[in-house]
A and B are shown apart, each in its own frame.
Chain A
Amino acid sequence: MTDQQDKRRLRVLVVEDNPHVAELIRHGLRGNASVDAEFVIDCVMARDGYEATEQLRASRFDALIADIYLPGMDGASLIAAVRAGDHPDLPIIAVSAGGDPARKAAMDAGANVFVDKPMRLHALVATLQKLV
C-alpha cells in the first residue's frame, strides 16, 4: 500500500444539512473508507447551497458532494449554479434518499453521478476516485 504521505490530496466540498450524516461522511472520507484509496481527502463541510457557494468562491476544490434536498438553496439549484458559473468541469456527486425525482433533478442540473442514500461510504470514495 502507498504510504499516506505519498498519496495525492483531494479537497472535497460536502454539502449536507443533517449534521450527523455530515459527520459520518466526513469520517468516512477521511478515515477508514478511504484507507485503500489512491488519495487522502480533506473535507470542507457546508450546510446548504448558500454556504457551499461561498466556499466555492473562497477556495479551490477538487470535487463536490451535494445532498439534493437542502433547506434554502437546494442541491439541484447549487449544481446548476456551479455549472453555469466558474466551475463547469468540477466533478459533482449528488446524493439523496429522494429516489428517481431527486436523481432526475440532480442529473438535469449537471451532476456527474447520482448516489442513492443510504450510501456505503467506501462506495462513495470509489465513485469519487473514478471521477477525479
Chain B
Amino acid sequence: MSARRILVVDDSPFIGKVLSALLHGAGFDVTVAYDLWDLERWGVGTPDLVLMDVVLQEAFGDDVAILLRARGWRCPIVLMSSLPEAELEQRAADAGLDGFVSKHSGLAGIVELAQKHLGCGSAAGAALDARPGFEISARQRLRRVIDNANRPQYWNSAAVLSELRALVGDADMSGRGATAAAARVCHDVVHQLGANGATQEILDAIDALGESLGTARAARDANPRRILLLLSDDAQREALLAAFDRKNHVVVEARSLVEARQKLHAATYDLVLVDVRLDRAEPSLITEVRKHLPEAPLAVLGAPASTVGVPVISTDSDPAEMLDEIERTLQHGR
C-alpha cells in the first residue's frame, strides 16, 4: 500500500519540520506548505488529509480551507492551532471543516489524529510501530521535543538542543533500530553546535532525523533481521551493536542465560548469537535454541568442544572479520 499523503500548512519552520519528521516516521507521505506560495505548488489531485494551522503570515487557515473546498478539495481538513479550543472548535464548525486539534495537546496528538483519520500510515509505518520494544524511550523523548515545540521558550536554541541531545542520548543507549540510526545522523550535527546553536542548524538536524527515519525504515523493510545477542564482553558488545545498527538489524540483548531463555521463548529471531564464554551452561542453551528455533541460524562466539556442528565465530579475530562472518552466517540462514 502506498503511503497516505498529508499536506501540513504551517508557517513555522520548526513545527513544520518536526511534525513532518514525526508523520514521516509514522509512515505518511508528508508535504509542508509554509505559505500560500508553497500551497499553490501542490500538484495534481488532492492529499488524503490537510493539517491546517490557523494563524498564517498573510491569511487565516480557516479562510484558506474554505478556498480549498471551493476548488473541489473534498479530503478531510483539520485545523491545528494554539488558539483556545473553544475558538478553534467554532472556527472549524463555521468553515465546515472536519475537526480541530489543539497544539497545546502536543504535536504527538496531531500524529495520532492523522492516524485516526487515515489509519496507521503505510504498512511499513504500521510494522514499525507494532514491533516489540521499539525504542520506547527515544520515541517518548522525541514526542517531548515535539510537545515542547509549541512553547515560546522552546524556540530558544539552547533548550531545543538540550532536548535533541537527550533524544540522541536515549537512542544511543538503546543502540538499535530506526530512531538510533536517525539519532546518529542527528548526533553529529547536534554535537557540532554550541549551546547557542543557530536555529537553522537545528532545523537541518531535524531534517536529517526525518530522512534517516525514512531511510532506516525502508532498509529494514527490505531486509529485516532480528538478532538475539548473548554476549559477555562489553567492548565487543559495543562494536557489534554499532555494526548491527548500521545495517538496521534489530538486536535484542540478553546479559544472562536466564534472560536469554526468556527472550528466546518470547519471539522469533533470524540469528541467535551466543558468547559461550558467558558461563559454563552454554551447551544446554544451544540445545534449547536448536529445539525452539530449528530454522534459526545459531552462531557461537568462542569455540568450546561442546559446540561441534554449530558455526563458530572466533572472538580472537579482527572485529571486522568477525562481523563479516556474522553477516555470512545471516545470509546462509535466510
A positions within 8 Å CB-CB of B: 18, 20-21, 23-24, 27-28, 31-33, 97, 117-121
Q: Which residue of A lies closest to B37 (CB)?
A: A20
The answer on a CB contact under 8 Å between A120 and B36 is no
Q: Is the CB of A31 within 8 A of B70?
A: yes
**B47-74 vs A: 1/0 string, CB under 8 Å?**
0000000011111100110110010000
Assembled-state Cα–Cα distance A97/B58 (Å): 7
Chain A nearest Cβ from B148, distance in angstroms = 25
B binding-site residues for A, Cβ under 8 Å: 36-37, 39-40, 55-60, 63-64, 66-67, 70
Q: Which residues of the partner chain B approach A24 to less than 8 Å between Cβ atoms? A: 36, 59, 63-64, 67
List of B residues within 8 angstroms of A118 by Cβ: 55-60
A interface SS class: helix
B73 to chain A, nearest CB (A): 13
Do A28 and B63 touch across chains, with their CB atoms under 8 A apart? yes
Interface centre among B39, B57, B59, B66, by most A CB within 10 Å? B59
The closest CB in chain A to the CB of B35 belongs to A20
- The closest CB in chain B to the CB of A95 belongs to B58
Distance between Cα atoms of A119 and B63 in the complex (Å): 9
Instruction: Indicate if the CB atoms of B66 and A21 lie closer than 8 Å.
Output: no
A-B contact pairs, 18 of them (CB 8 A): A18-B36, A20-B39, A20-B40, A21-B36, A21-B58, A24-B63, A24-B64, A27-B67, A97-B57, A117-B59, A118-B55, A118-B58, A118-B60, A119-B59, A119-B60, A120-B60, A120-B63, A121-B60
- Give Cα A121 to B67, complex, Å: 11
Shortest Cβ distance from residue A69 to the other chain B in the assembled complex, whole angstroms:
11
Contact partner, A32, options B55, B60, B66, Cβ 8 Å: B66
Residues of A within 8 A of B64 (CB): 24
Distance from B72 Cβ to chain A, minimum over Cβ atoms (Å): 13
Contact residues in B for A18 (Cβ distance below 8 Å): 36, 58
- Known pairs A20-B37, A27-B67, A120-B63; list 14 more (Cβ under 8 Å): A18-B36, A20-B40, A21-B36, A21-B59, A23-B67, A24-B36, A24-B67, A28-B63, A31-B70, A97-B57, A117-B58, A118-B57, A118-B60, A119-B60
